Amino acid sequence: MTRTTRALQCSATLVAAGLLLTACGSSGGSGGSSGQNAQSTSFTGRGPITYVAGKDTTGTIQTIIDRWNKLHPKEKVTFIQLPTDADSQRQQMIQNAETKSDAYTVLSLDVVWTSEFAAHQWIDRLPDNAFPLQNMLKPVVETAKYRGGLYAVPGSSDGGLLYYRSDLLKKAGITSPPATWSEMTADCAKVKKLPEAKDMSCYAGQFQKYEGLTVNFSEAVNSAGGVVTDASGKPDVDTPQAKKGLDFLVDSFKDGTIPKEAITYQEEDGRQAFQSGKLVFLRNWPYVYALAQKSPIGGKFAVAPLPGLNGTGSSSLGGHNLALSSFAKNKATALDFMKFFSSEESASYFLKNASLAPPYTNLYDDASLDKQYPYLPVLKESILHAVPRPRVVQYGDVTSAIEKEAYAALSGSKSSSQALKDLQADLQKLTAQ
């Protein structure tokens, strides 16, 4: 073999080796026993720690941390900012855990990751009495638990809202927002008779094949009285109720209630469409409120709880929880910091300055806050009716199975009953271990 051949092979090897490195870089540290046991965790050690979360676009997190640092000069908290998208946050946290690094102390976990992180023993079980959980909304507290044990403390919550064009509804003679899907389509038909609404579409949510579809699919199923996984975590999605929920979305796509292009919508696409006056109704998160208020439709819209089959629907729960890395040092400091960071004062600060939905019940009932944030009472309704997404260890696989089948049904490549049947089989396999 000539030298060139070898040189070329080497370059090929390099290219591929680079890939292997990136694909498997984090595999080195696996194996071996951590010896961590939830019950025996002792929260000892004081000193500097870190707080790890996605990029802080509002600057509020740093403010709260500065406040802590001023009070605790010997137990300084350093804020480590991860990328904005949830997938890379999760990946970096997993890499940190797989290498048993003590670089991360307090983690800001998406609510759906709690089970996975707890089952891998990447985070410590927390003492139940350390936090004022009784003052928090119950569905929110549930997201912080795994098999009955508390593994995190709610930091912020989130629930879906139905945004609607109050000006157009009023013009069409409709006084209150729709509570059911059929009311929504009927209202829409009336609105579309108005000359200015002739070219509008009726409704949209997030239907692109990504996490948002899992959220919207679960909401449809739950709002029709079905479940994706039952109370004990077993999948039970091949039911007539679930079919009614999925059929609402499938039929809406077919008859044009949902515009065809909504199959590519993520949160922002839907917001743009609603703001530019293409939609009468939109399902989205509270963050849209402030932005839409500043858009051309500012003052012309309002929010309501999500509609369902026979009454108010059920939102999927969003939000973030604080958890403590099992491999961290200075856990006594960490626990104190978690108490401080998740306190009602902090939550109220985050609500006022970053419009993050607080986990505390009180804050929703505060009349002065309600005046400033008119969506708060509706958001509380939404969170109280909310259903967490499946709380399973292999959440990543479960959500992609849901996305795959829901997408197949919405794009018409599978009947809704076949999609649910296949989904049930997939989920059974994933939760069977």
Partner 1 sequence: MLTIVVIYPTLMALNESLYGPKGLDPKTGFISNTEPFVGLKNYTDIFTQAGDRFWNAFWNTTLFTVVTVLLETVIGVAMALIMHKAFRGRAVVRASILVPWAIPTAISGLLWRWIFNADGIANVLVGQQVLWTADGFAAKIAVIIADVWKTAPFIGLLVLAGLQVIPKEVYEAARIDGASALRQFWHITLPLVKPALLVAVLFRCLDALRMFDLPYILIGAQKNSVETLSMLAQNEASNVRFGPASAYAVLLFLYVFLIALAFVRLLGADLVGDGGVRSGRERRTGRRGAVALRRAEVTA
Binding-site ranges for partner 1 (CB under 8 A): 2-17, 19-24, 26-28, 30-34, 87, 90-91, 94, 98, 118-121, 146-147, 208-210, 260-261, 263-264, 269, 393-394, 396-397, 400, 403-404, 407, 411, 433
Closest approach, Cβ 142 to partner 1, in A, equals 16
Closest approach, Cβ 263 to partner 1, in A, equals 5
Contacts with 293 (C-beta within 8 Å, 6 or more apart), sequence order: 299
Name beta bridge partners: 281.
164, 203
C-beta of 90 vs 243, nearer to partner 1: 90
C-beta of 264 vs 353, nearer to partner 1: 264
Cβ burial 120-145 (10 Å sphere, 16+ → b, else e)? ebbbbbbeeeebebeebbebbbbbbb
Pairing of strands 149-150, 145-146: antiparallel
C-beta of 76 vs 209, nearer to partner 1: 209
C-beta of 9 vs 58, nearer to partner 1: 9
Closest approach, Cβ 368 to partner 1, in A, equals 41
How many Cβ atoms are within 10 Å of 170's Cβ, its own excluded?
13
DSSP symbols for 311-342:
SB--PBEEEEEEEEBTT-S-HHHHHHHHHHHT
| Whole-number Å distance between alpha carbons of 152 and 208 | 30
Closest approach, Cβ 275 to partner 1, in A, equals 13
| Whole-number Å distance between alpha carbons of 204 and 13 | 48
Which amino acid, 50?
A: T
| Whole-number Å distance between alpha carbons of 303 and 285 | 10
Collapsing DSSP to helix, strand or coil, 53 comes out as strand
Closest approach, Cβ 225 to partner 1, in A, equals 29
Closest approach, Cβ 4 to partner 1, in A, equals 3
Closest approach, Cβ 401 to partner 1, in A, equals 10
Closest approach, Cβ 398 to partner 1, in A, equals 10
| Whole-number Å distance between alpha carbons of 155 and 344 | 10
C-beta of 121 vs 223, nearer to partner 1: 121
Closest approach, Cβ 416 to partner 1, in A, equals 18
Burial of residue 372 (number of CB atoms within 10 Å: 0-12, 13-18, 19+): exposed
C-beta of 12 vs 290, nearer to partner 1: 12
The Cα diameter of the chain in Å comes to: 84
| Whole-number Å distance between alpha carbons of 351 and 359 | 10
C-beta of 33 vs 176, nearer to partner 1: 33
Q: Which among 132, 417, 192, 161 has a CA at the least distance from the CA of 304?
A: 161
How many Cβ atoms are within 10 Å of 320's Cβ, its own excluded?
24
Closest approach, Cβ 389 to partner 1, in A, equals 16
C-beta of 146 vs 285, nearer to partner 1: 146
| Whole-number Å distance between alpha carbons of 357 and 347 | 8
C-beta of 262 vs 303, nearer to partner 1: 262
C-beta of 3 vs 74, nearer to partner 1: 3
The DSSP code for 137 is -
